[in-house]
Amino acid sequence: MENRGRAKRDASSRKTSSGNGQFDRRTLLRAGALAAGMAGMGAGIARAAESIGADAPDWMKTPGRSFSTYGMPSHWQEKVQRTVAFLPGRPGTGTSRTPLHLLEGTITPNGLHFERHHNGVPDIDPSRHELVIHGLVKRPLAFSIETLMRYPMESQIHFVECSGNSGSFNQPEPQQATAGGLNGLLSCSEWSGVRLATLLQEAEPAREAKWVVAEGADAAAMSRSVPLEKCLDDAMIALYQNGEAIRPEQGYPMRLLLPGFEGNMNVKWLRRLKVMDQPVNARDETSHYTELMPGGKARQYMFLQGVKSAIIKPSFGMNMKGPGFYEVSGLAWSGAGRVSKVEVSSDAGKSWTPASLAAPVLSKALTRFRLAWQWDGRPVTLMSRATDEKGEVQPTRAAWVSQYSPVQFYHFNGIQGCRIEADGTVKHVYV
Amino acid sequence: MSMFRFGILFPATALCLIASVGQAQAQHPNLGRPLTDDEVRKLDITVAPDGNGLPAGSGSVSAGAKVYAEKCQSCHGAKGQGGPMDQLTGGIGTLASAKPVKTPVSYWPSATTIFDYVRRAMPLQSPESLTDDEVYAVTAYLLSIDKVVPEDAVLDAKSLSQVKMPNRDGFVRWWPVPKR
C-alpha cells in the first residue's frame, strides 16, 4: 500500500485482509476534510477581457425550463428503470425488479418499487372500494377510504421483499446479473396509514379467532392467511407510500403492510379481511412460498424474511477503474428487527471487517452499510455477512441450499459474493 | 380494547378494565359501517380446508371434462399435463426425488384450495366467470385424472371437503415459529 501517512492511525480503524487491499471505515471523513481544504484555491484568476460565459456550460447561459406539476427524474437518468419479466402472452403475470445497483441510500423511489402481480394492476375507483372486516368478529364492518382517512395515522419505514427474491441462488452456477437482477425483488418505503389493530379492535374478534385471511381486489383476488397475532401487532393498512397516495402497482388505494413478513402476504388492493380460527391453505401458501425439503416434506407458513445482506457496489456490471480507492457499500435487512452488524470479507471468509451502518438503522427496514477500501489491483472476492438484533447470522449459501430440495428457491438469505479480476471485471460468484 | 382478554381477569380487575375500556372506546373513531349478513355473504368467497365456505351446487367429472376442454386446456394442456402454463396433474410420488414435480394434485394438501383458487382467479382472461357448478365439475375432473376421485365422482360441499389429497400430510407448519 502506498498510504504511508496512514500507518500512524489507530489500528482499530483499519484492517487488512490477506493482501487484497485495505479496508478502512474512516477514509471518507478524511477525504471530506481534504476536499474542504482545497476549496477556493482557484479564486483570483484574471479575466479582464472576456465575460465569464466563455468558460461556462450552456445551461448557465440561458434560462432553464419552467415548473412542472409532477416532477420526473432527469432525462440523463433514463436508464434507471425496473427490469420487467412476465409470462409469454400474459403481460400481467410476472415481476419487475428494483434496479438496486443504480440507486443509493435505503428508500426506493415510488416509480421503482419492485412489482409482483398475479393478473395485472387493477384500476380501482377509490369511491367504490371498501375494506371489509368480517368472520369471527362481533361486529362486521366496512371502511371506505374517506372513513379511513379520519383515523389516527402512523408512518413506518419498512422493506418489502418478495419471498422469491434471490431465487436464482438455488441454481448450480451463479447467474451473471446485476445486483438488481439478483436481489431487486426488494424495496423500502415510508408507509403511512392506519394501524390494523385499531380497526380489528372495533370489530371485536371472537375468543377463538387465530388467523385473518386477507384478500385483494385484483383479477386474481390474491389471498393469504395471516396470524391474528401479527394483525394486532405492527400490521398497517397503508394508504401512503413515501408521502403520496400508494401507487397502483403497490395496491392503490390500500395495501396490507406486515413489516418483516414475506412480500406476498402484504396483500395489495386490499378489500377483505376474514377473521378465522384456521389458515386456509390458499394457493399462494401451498403451491407457492412453501419450502420443499429433501425428504419430500415442506415447511409451510414461513413468514419472516431472514437476516440478509448483499454488496451492491461493486457488483456484476460495475467494472473497476484500476487500483485505488473504492467505497464498498450494500444493503442489509432482517424481518425480525434491526440489523446489528454487517461484516465484509476479502479472503473467502477467513477474516471479517465490520462495515459502518448508515443511520438511521431501523427495525425491518433496509440498512445501508459502507466500508472504505483501497484495492491493490489483485484479484479478490468480496462477501458480506449480516447479523440482526436477535443474534441471527446470515448463513452460507451452501448451508442454506443443503436444507432444501433442489427446486426450492423461496426465502434465500445466504451469503453472496462478487469476484473482482485483475482487469477490473466484476463477476457474481458463489463463496 | 381486547374483549377476548376478559376471560382471564379477576372480577375486580375486570371492573377497572371496563372503565379503561370505556375510555379506549371513546378514543376509537368507531367509524366503520356495520355490514349486514347479506352483504357479507356476497363478498365472502373464502373456502377453508374443512369445507367451511363451500357453496351449494355440484359437478361431475364428465361435466368438468367439458368445462376443461373449453376453458382451461389451451393454457394447461390436455389432461392438465401443462403447457404453456402450469402443469396441473401428475407428479405424485416425486416430491422426495431430485426432480420433484409440484402440481395441485401431487403437492397441494387440500382439494378445497383447487376450488377456492379456480373460482376466484381462473380462467386468467375472465376470472370469476365460472358458475359454482362448473368449478365443482372442473375440480372433480382434475382430481379424476390421477384417480384421486373415481371417474364417476360428483363433487359438492360435503364430498369435496372429504377428498384425501396424496400430499395431505406433507406440510410442516412453521407458525408459530419453532423455538430453537
pLDDT digits (tens, 9 = 90+) for A162-208: 999 999 999 999 999 999 999 999 999 999 999 999 999 999 999 99
Which CATH number goes with the domain that contains A336? Answer: 2.60.40.650
* Contact state of B127 with A133 under an 8 Å Cβ cutoff: no
Euclidean distance between CA atoms A214 and A236, whole angstroms? 12
State the pTM of this model. 0.90
- Same domain flag for A244 and A264: yes
- Same domain flag for A151 and A254: yes
Domains of chain A: total: 2
* Contact state of A205 with B4 under an 8 Å Cβ cutoff: yes
B positions 11-70 inside 8 Å of A (CB): 24, 28-35, 39-40, 43-50
Which CATH number goes with the domain that contains A167? Answer: 3.90.420.10
Give the per-residue pLDDT at B39. 97
Give the per-residue pLDDT at A26. 56
Which residues on A lie below 8 Å from B127 (Cβ)? 119, 219-221
Whether omega before A406 lies within 30 degrees of 0, making that bond cis, reads no
- Same domain flag for A149 and A278: yes
Euclidean distance between CA atoms B137 and B67, whole angstroms? 8
* Contact state of B2 with A295 under an 8 Å Cβ cutoff: no
DSSP state of B55: P
- Same domain flag for A184 and A225: yes
A422: Cβ contacts below 8 Å, ≥ 6 apart: A377, A378, A379
Euclidean distance between CA atoms A425 and A377, whole angstroms? 11
- Same domain flag for A189 and A236: yes
CA atoms within 13 A on the CB side of B165: 29
Say if A274 falls within a structural domain. yes
A positions 55-94 inside 8 Å of B (CB): 87-90, 93
- Same domain flag for A394 and A284: no
Whether omega before A253 lies within 30 degrees of 0, making that bond cis, reads yes
- Same domain flag for A258 and A340: no
DSSP state of A97: E
* Contact state of A88 with B84 under an 8 Å Cβ cutoff: yes
- Same domain flag for A342 and A282: no
A207 interfacial to chain B (CB closer than 8 Å): yes
C-alpha cell at A307: 437476516
| pLDDT band for position A32 (cuts 50, 70, 90) | very low
Chain-centre distance for alpha carbon A22: 28
Chain region(s) in chain B for CATH 1.10.760.10: 37-161
Per-residue CA distances from B144 to A81, A284, A330, B135, B149 (Å): 46, 23, 51, 14, 5
Give the per-residue pLDDT at A243. 98
- Same domain flag for A370 and A283: no
Encode B121-143 in three state secondary structure.
HCCCCCCCCCCHHHHHHHHHHHH
Euclidean distance between CA atoms A380 and A431, whole angstroms? 12
Say if A215 falls within a structural domain. yes
Residue with cell 492511525: A9
Q: Which residues partner with A137 through β-bridges?
A: A205
Give the per-residue pLDDT at A269. 98
Per-residue CA distances from A25 to A35, A312, A315, B16 (Å): 18, 17, 20, 55
A38: Cβ contacts below 8 Å, ≥ 6 apart: none
ipTM: 0.89
- Same domain flag for A260 and A374: no
Classify residue B68 by burial, with Cβ atoms within 10 Å: 0-12, 13-18, 19+: buried
Say if A184 falls within a structural domain. yes
- Same domain flag for A125 and A266: yes
Q: Which residue, A239, A267, A296, sits at the end of a domain?
A: A296
- Same domain flag for A347 and A374: yes
Which residues on B lie below 8 Å from A306 (Cβ)? none
Read off the pLDDT of residues B11-34 as tens digits, 9 standing for 90 and up. Answer: 444 444 444 444 555 679 999 999
Range of the domain at A372: 308-429
Residue with cell 397475532: A229
At residue A7, does pLDDT exceed 50? Answer: no
Classify residue A293 as left (phi > 0), alpha (psi -120 to 50) or beta.
Answer: beta
C-alpha cell at B121: 382467479
Other CB atoms closer than 10 Å to residue B130's CB: what's the count? 20
Residue A375 sits at the vertex; the CA angle it makes with A372 and A377, to the nearest 5 degrees, is: 170
Say if A272 falls within a structural domain. yes
Q: Which residue, A255, A274, A296, sits at the end of a domain?
A: A296
Superfamily of domain B37-161: Cytochrome c-like domain (1.10.760.10)
C-alpha cell at A306: 431472514
A172 interfacial to chain B (CB closer than 8 Å): no
Say if A180 falls within a structural domain. yes
At residue A47, does pLDDT exceed 90? Answer: no
Q: What is the DSSP string of A217-275?
A: SSTT--EEEEEHHHHTTT-EEEEEETTEEPPGGGTTT-EEE-TTB-GGGS-SSEEEEEE
Read off the pLDDT of residues A228-248 as tens digits, 9 standing for 90 and up. Answer: 999 999 999 999 999 999 999
Give the per-residue pLDDT at B49. 97
Q: Which of A256-270, A349-363, B13-27, B151-165 has the lowest mean pLDDT?
A: B13-27
* Contact state of A141 with B175 under an 8 Å Cβ cutoff: no
Q: Which residue, A246, A263, A296, sits at the end of a domain?
A: A296
Would you tell me the crossing angle of helices B132-145 and B111-121 to the nearest 10 degrees? Answer: 130
Q: Is A72 helix (H, G, I), strand (E, B) or coil?
A: coil
A positions 292-331 inside 8 Å of B (CB): 292, 294-304
Residue B89 near residue B145, CB atoms below 8 Å: yes
Classify residue B103 by burial, with Cβ atoms within 10 Å: 0-12, 13-18, 19+: buried
